[in-house]
Amino acid sequence: MTNCQSLYKFAKNILMLKIRNKIFSNKKVYIESYGCQMNFSDSEIVSSILLKEGFDHTKTVEKADLILINTCSIREKAEESIRKRLSFFNSLKKKNNNLKIGVLGCMAERLKEKLLHEEKVVDLVVGPDSYRNLPDLINKTNKGYKSIDTKLSKVETYDDIVPHHFDSNNITGLISIMRGCDNMCSFCVVPFTRGRERSRNPNSIVKEAKDLFKKGFREVTLLGQNVDSFRWSHLSNNKKELEKLQNNSESISFANLLEMVALITPDLRIRFSTSHPKDITDDVLYVIKKYENICNYIHLPAQSGNNRILKLMNRTYTREWYLNKINSIRKIVGDDCGISSDFISGFCSETNKEHKDTLSLMDEIKYDYSYTFSYSERKGTMAERKFNDDIPINIKQKRLSELIIKQREHSFYRNKLFLNKTYRVLIEGLSKKSENNFKGRNSENKTIVFPKRKYNIGEYVDVKVLKCNSATLFGEILN
């Protein structure tokens, strides 16, 4: 591009921004988010883009000129609850003719134009890689058109956008370090709704973490569908070429990134999610061990304890491989390290005996926590195309409740191991049940409730654990 052309483009952008700032000034946007932490983090990017264009935020949906709902498609139920919300928004639209409704995120990406036909209340459909175009798309709806952009990108990382933390406690923040997923687990819709995996420039990640610390945040969670396959190099953003650069000083791995963020200051805690059992390396575990401020907590979804089911799920590891990883965690990071998992009950053709293998895996590991789901068939996934969703709903539910009961026992067992020990806790807010108590978490991700004394939210305190149930630890600040 010649100097003259780029000057013209720059001037045009400034002019457009000024025009839109006028159009959008005094307009109020209300944003509601569903699904995983990535979606909540994306909503902060969306908010930042819109504030720059002149929008104000409102937390009262009735006051909004624009309602954006950032959606999840992971299970049928997630989509059903969003459709219910849309029918509530429809009742608001009847009272306010100028109100516009936009659907963002995974449901927008999955359903595309269909969403405009099925839900007449919707004016705007925008997929997760198109948020930069929101101002133009909103402008179009203000002229009376419906608008849609669901193009997925191989490069979009929103690197340069400083998220606006409109919904946060200003102590714990989310930072997306990568987008998309290339794993193709057979049950999962994410690779279709989020596109190809791409990692963000580590320098912009470190800058964002430093900015958060300056604003008073004391913990960041580094987010990605598969954080362990983070890899970045200034030489290439092509995944195949990046793989060739492995172990080369010219590419940055997830372990390197963790270290870069840990070195910002010991007073900024680091968490990360989600790890994939096939990708988490000992290097990552050694970095966790080395830095006090990298939390001793790993979410390592197993999904099933049976090898045939794991194969059908295309998880690419076996029960034995998974157990080896858990052993490495316990050996390198320590027995105290918090470990949690996700499990799916009633996946295609799962027998009762295979379900029992999941229960026995849980018995063997004794997780601190598990997120449990009954299998929900998603259109377009490998499982939907190749297998029968043949486990009756009542059996899925029965197996699910067995997983839940088992996990409750193990959570209680694990929590009891923390009794009479003292932990550094970051005070995150008031306890839900009493204004006289604070709640916070220790490095191992256990929630601890304790009397307030003279301390403030955002401070670290040493808390001795005195009591517990299966969900919470209760303690006392030590002086």
Chain residues in the site for ligand F3S (CB under 6 A): 35-36, 38-39, 72-74, 105-106, 189-190, 193-194
| Cβ at position 74, least distance to ligand F3S in Å | 4
Which residues in the 37-56 window bind ligand SAH by CB under 6 A?
none
Task: Write the CB contacts of 243 (distance below 8 Å, at least 6 apart in sequence).
Answer: 231
Structure tokens at 281: 């390396």
CB closer to ligand SF4 out of 121 and 185: 185
Six-digit token string for 219: 């913990």
Instruction: Give the range of 45-53, 183-191, 201-209, 214-222 binding ligand SAH by CB under 6 A.
Output: 183-191
Q: What is the token pair recorded at 431?
A: 């306890």
Report the partner that residue 102 touches, choosing among ligand F3S, ligand SAH, ligand SF4, none (CB closer than 5 to 8 A by kind).
none
CA-to-CA separations, 322 to 187, 303, 362, 444, in angstroms, rounded: 19, 11, 12, 20
| Cross-strand pairs, 53 | none
Q: Which helix (H) or strand (E) holds 57?
A: strand 56-57
Q: How far apart are CA 218 and CA 209, in angstroms?
A: 10
Q: Which stretch binds ligand SF4 (CB under 6 A): 97-105, 180-188, 384-392, 431-439?
A: 180-188
Judged by beta carbon, residue 41 or residue 226, the one nearer ligand SAH is 226
Contacting range for ligand SAH; rule: CB under 6 A; set: 59-67, 182-190, 200-208, 394-402: 182-190
Q: Which residue is associated with the tokens 């003279």?
A: 454
Question: Residue 188 or 288: which CB sits closer to ligand SF4?
Answer: 188
In the complex, the smallest distance separating the C-beta of residue 260 from ligand SAH, rounded to whole angstroms, is 23
Residue 211's identity, in one-letter code, is D
Of 191, 346, 440, 458, the one binding ligand SF4 (CB under 6 A) is: 191
Q: Among residues 62, 68, 60, which one has the least CA distance to residue 42?
A: 68
Shortest distance in whole angstroms from residue 181 CB to ligand SF4? 3
CB-CB contact of 90 with 121 (8 Å) = yes
**74 interacts with ligand SAH by CB under 6 A:** yes
Among 101, 190, 295, 383, which residue sits at the site for ligand SF4 (rule: CB under 6 A)? 190
Q: Segment 220-279, which members bind ligand SF4 (CB under 6 A)?
A: 225-226, 276
Name the minimum Å distance from CB 149 to ligand SAH: 24
If you search the block for the tokens 């026992």, which residue do you land on?
409
Kindly give the pairing relationship between strand 172-176 and strand 178-179.
unpaired
